[in-house]
Amino acid sequence: MQCVDCVKAQHKESRSLVSMFGGRMAQGRPIVTITLIAICVIVWVGQQINDKVTTDLLYAPVLSGQDPWRFITAAFVHSPSSIFHLLFNMYALWIVGQYLEPMLGRIRLLALYLISAFGGSVGYELLASTPSSPTDYPSGWVTPTVGASGAVFGLFVAVVILNRHLGLSSGPMVALIVINGVLGFIVPDVAWQSHLGGAITGGLCAGAITLLGRNRAQLQWAALAAITVLLVVAAYVRFESVHLPTG
């Protein structure tokens, strides 16, 4: 038997455990991972009910100026005509999310996912083809993209970087990244630009977290904010530099 105060003290102490990367260790179910998956599933169901859900949340570079929220919301929307697009991304998110969440902590995992999602859309914008004349449409600049794959690629690369820091092998993850990267160029209608953008962004975020470590955990947030600002600037400059032909 233990007194109530002793139990409360032990519980408070257990909640304050910090991982070597500076985040509060997430114990029990991977709540953030489950929540992200649940949101994507709910959105996909909404897409089946009303097409407006897809059109309001998808991303296309041409819409960057008027609807900047699409940079993020596109990561929660999937192809309404194929459940396999949703299932594949959610399975990948489940595998990698439940691995990273205890390692980084819930808040850092959420930040990594959202910033990687943003980076995936920015990558798509930076590498999208633009029309040179009014007859060139459609081009990548006006072609919509949806899916969590950009964010998931960011998590993939983060696993490799964090494992390397811990001295753990990442052979299977590297192989998965390479295979999916190649498929992006082979399979039609796959936004490889988003995969690349998300992967680079996730790598930058994970690199900042490992470099600063637990002793400078607060500086990690400044680094993540700096990466986000860099993405905003890149997206703005790219959008302003494109002058669509008229006629």
182-241 pLDDT tens trace = 777 676 677 899 999 999 999 999 999 999 987 888 899 999 999 999 999 999 999 999
Q: What CA–CA distance (Å, rounded) separates 28 from 19?
A: 15
Q: What CA–CA distance (Å, rounded) separates 152 from 177?
A: 10
Question: Residues 12-50: pLDDT tens digits?
Answer: 544 557 777 776 766 778 999 999 999 999 999 999 999
Per-residue pLDDT at 118 exceeds 80: yes
Q: What CA–CA distance (Å, rounded) separates 205 from 138?
A: 34
pLDDT score at 123 = 97
* Burial (0-12, 13-18, 19+ Cβ within 10 Å), 134: exposed
- Quote the percentage of the chain above a pLDDT of 90: 65
What is the biggest distance separating any 2 CA atoms in the chain, rounded to whole angstroms?
A: 82
Task: Tell me which residue has tokens 């449409």.
Answer: 137
Per-residue pLDDT at 58 exceeds 50: yes
> Which CATH entry fits the domain spanning 23-241: 1.20.1540.10, 1.20.1370.20, 3.40.50.10490, 2.40.50.100?
1.20.1540.10
Chain mean pLDDT for the chain? 88
Catalytic pick among 64, 116, 149, 194: 149
Would you call 195 a catalytic residue per the annotation? yes
The residues near 50 (Cβ < 8 Å, ≥ 6 apart) are: none
**pTM of the entire predicted model:** 0.88
**Token representation of residue 176:** 């998965």
Question: 154 vs 165, which has greater pLDDT?
Answer: 154
- How is the chain split into domains, by residue range? 23-241
Task: Tell me which residue has tokens 């003290």.
Answer: 9
Would you call 165 a catalytic residue per the annotation? no
